[in-house]
A and B are shown apart, each in its own frame.
Chain A
Amino acid sequence: MTEMGSSTWDIIRFCIGIACLGIGCLLTLLGAIGMLRLRDVYQRMHGAGIVDTGGAGLVLFGLLLLSPDWQTSVRLIMIGAVLVFTAPTATHAIARAARFAGIRPELAHEEKETSS
């Protein structure tokens, strides 16, 4: 996109970029549906997790492939890096708050001891 005319690489990255954006949007939609359909606060966080990881990740990766210059790419990578560190922290904060508020997760089995 920066040079005149379009090379094969430009066409390839355009197609893959658009595909990533599309899949990312679908995953975000799926996460939103999960927020509505899942039953308690802990389960809904897993739906939000899809939006944070697959949704945002694929959209950012798609934009990275479509980015016109390296400055834009650097900023997109920075956004991704910040998301990777903040998204789980925020999710954990909600889980912790829910636990302190005394909300019991709906469980299929009793609490289990596991080690790896």
Chain B
Amino acid sequence: MRPILISTLLMYGLWLALSDQYTPLFLSLGAGSAVGVSLIAYRMGVLDAEGLPLSILWRLPRITAWLVWEILKSNIIVGRYILNPRAVAPVVMRIKATQKSKAALVTHANFITLTPGTVTIAVNEAQNEILVHGLSRAFLDEAMMNPQINLLEGK
């Protein structure tokens, strides 16, 4: 019941933000759609820890500033490599992830791809390993995101 309620509230919030019609008719239609979508999603069985990873989502703002800073920094570094392609020394490395939940592991892999200079090629779920392609060794440190990602799991 709780996931349906939270999903309905999120959906209705989104609807309110995007709809510029605030007459009773439209407000009730929006509420009806929000409830309907949540019920369908619940029946489909996608409102679980993977489909609606609330514990991770509500902690996301805590590391946003850090992530934006990392992205800006590596944008500049990759930009310098592009202007001087001879300096590029690509590496492929395996990174041990220390996350417990799948959602956090996926977030880790996505954040590695999100920072320019490193791209996730594969995630080995069984061994909690992420295979990363980096533009050079300098990006190795940047892919070490375990402390920050673990904050998302509340550690």
Contacts and interface: CB of A to CB of B under 8 A. Distances in A.
Nearest to A38: B85
Contact of B140 (A50, A95, A114): A114
Interface string A73-90: 011001000001101110
Dominant secondary structure at the A interface:
helix
Interface of A: 27, 30-31, 33-34, 37-40, 42-43, 45-47, 49-50, 52-54, 57, 71, 74-75, 78, 84-85, 87-89, 91-92, 95-96, 99, 105-109, 111-116
Interface of B: 17-18, 20, 68, 71-72, 75, 78-79, 81-83, 85, 88-96, 109-111, 113-122, 133, 135-137, 140, 144, 146
B82 A47 contact: yes
16 contacts: A27-B79, A34-B79, A42-B90, A45-B119, A46-B117, A46-B118, A49-B78, A50-B82, A74-B18, A95-B113, A95-B119, A99-B122, A105-B90, A108-B137, A109-B137, A113-B94
A74 B17 contact: yes
